[in-house]
Structure 1
Amino acid sequence: MSTAVPADSIRARDIDRAETSTLLDAAYAEGQLEAGEYHDRVAQARSAKTLGELRRLVADLQTPAATGRLSPGAAHESRSAASRAGTKAGYPPRTRARDADRANAGALIDAGRQDGQLTEEEHRVLTELLGSARTLGELADLVADLQGSRRVPTRPVPAVPPVSGRNPALLLAAGLVAAFVGFAVTSPDSGSPVPEAAPGSAAAPGRDDIAAVVIETPDLLTSAGLAHFLAEYREKFGDMAADSVYLYPEFATIDRAVPGATNREVGYDYRGGFTQSDDITTRRTDTQAMDLGLLDPAAIGTAAANAVEATRVPGGAVSMMIVAIESSGDLAGRPVVRIYVQNEFDESGTVYVDPVGAILDISIFEG
């Protein structure tokens, strides 16, 4: 009798890694990714061992037009899993925005100034916020209370993978997110009427509200950011158990067991708040959960601050951290924090530390 292997644990092929890299290339060209995060994700795609690792790299992207329909493999698996986080109507709000989406939102803001909806100062503030908007949900929030000829189209979720975002503090309320799920801003002359918000509803924030939501979340790869994340994790879930946590400067992804069902696993994204990113899937019952309560944010932050020097990566910076129980190698069965360092040339190194920041191993760049 064969044992079922979770889809995320299936080994990746070279073609799966190539397909994911192709998608990242096209997404970068469309403005969905900034240079640093693009190089970071491409490097991770090249070294990915499983389809689950590849899926995490593309879970929040729109499918770039230039990719067409990729052949079956990691990319297909990634998108089919990612699409479950949204609705049949289209992309979820956390999906990365393209340059074209930002341009269309800018046109709506400009039109709002021209027809008297916005003062000059309000227009200036919104234009500045537009420049830092990274997701479709953030763009939707910026234009939510503007009249004009615009529409919120129903975008079919494509079969190939679209992958995660900026500061989610711009998401004003759950009702606004529901109203704009799958949002892709269109041009002001599209001809469809504006959906009207009920008076006083969260879908029609005032200008003061927009100014107030620009709240920076600490860099999660620092002591302060990690401490902030752990405090919110405990508040959200009431415990500190996790199968794995992937930490990036502005967001994190989490896999954890479903409470009361150790054979079921669910994924979450964290961007200033936690949202379920995957349907519940099968979990190996022998999976060892990590106790995040063991982590010493100050010590790990210090290790991260010293990681560039330790790995000898020229011009490098800490790009991500992975927190989990090691499943293989000399550190198998131990709780480990992997601190990844990378530069713009994809040269990299890794520092392995225990929950209190003690160095267990170092992978040094030997260029």
Structure 2
Amino acid sequence: MAGALSGLLVADFSRVLAGPLATMTLGDLGADVVKVERPGTGDETRSWGPPWSLDGTSTYYLSVNRNKRGVALDLASPAARSLALGADVLVENFAPGTMERFGLGYEDLRAANPRLVYASITGFGRSSPSPGYDFLVQALGGLMSITGSPDGPPTKAGVALVDVLAGQQLTTGILAALYARERSGRGQRVEVSLLGSLLAALVNQASAVLNSDVVPGRMGNRHPSIAPYETYPAADGDVVLAVGNDAQFARLLAALGLPSDPRFTTNRDRVQHREALGELLSTAFGTAPAAHWVDLLTTAGVPCGSVNTVAEAIALAERLGLTPVVELAGRRSVASPITLSETPISYRLPPPALD
């Protein structure tokens, strides 16, 4: 069955993570993606390791480059311009001005290819020449200030989260531009910045700053607005509680055999008396292993779990029937989370070798 984007040609001039993630998503949806790389060295992530796969390929590179054909081209070559002019979508994440120097900027191409959707990712916007690196943007964008223990240093997320967010935002923008093109017949420029993507993803934390003059800080695993919503120590490990409403909290008390307390009646009350509630729950959970509590509370309808490793998380998804892993020519990667009933995701090509 044809994919949702079958028949579309995507010229992927991007590298590293945000852009390649967006183009891999388009490829999963059926588009024909041609990955353009620097002759000789290719995408920077080809040299990022360890870890390496069994044949010595960077597992970082493998994570975001399936469903693509590959070619090595100098940006100044006629072949690069020919590909750009023949594409439905062009994706690039070079420093602002780079594509223009090679005659591959949006204004350079739109006259000859008015249907082109030209998608760019920058670090801080087109007017800023500063390169955007995920770690740097996590710091400058405020994420590190709210991540980590209250008495510890600012901490980055364990994955390049800003790049992932920007790649997803770019995909959304590209799909919107393609839909608009169906009505107007014209392409357009799509731009996403790493900083803007992170700020949009701060959601409630950013809203607190904008609407209540609250400056959020690091709270470890606690939630600023919900309780109990954190980890608690059991006899042999941590239990994760994510109690989002009063009914769930009532079930938690019943399962633990604890009496009701007017200090904890509503979520507002529980947040106000967070320390007392934490002491009560920590004492209860410390009497038995984590697995005991997870089984008991799950049966009682209380959202809870353990802190899994990545391998354990993949195994959990498999047990739940989610089919989280796809294999192509011996290359394994996490499957797309998107399910479409009429135009399903397809996995056709493993990540290409250079050129």
Is the TM value for this pair above 0.5?
no
Q: TM-score by structure 2 length? A: 0.30
Structure with higher RCO (Cα < 8 A, 6+ apart) = 2
Please say which structure displays the higher CA radius of gyration: 2
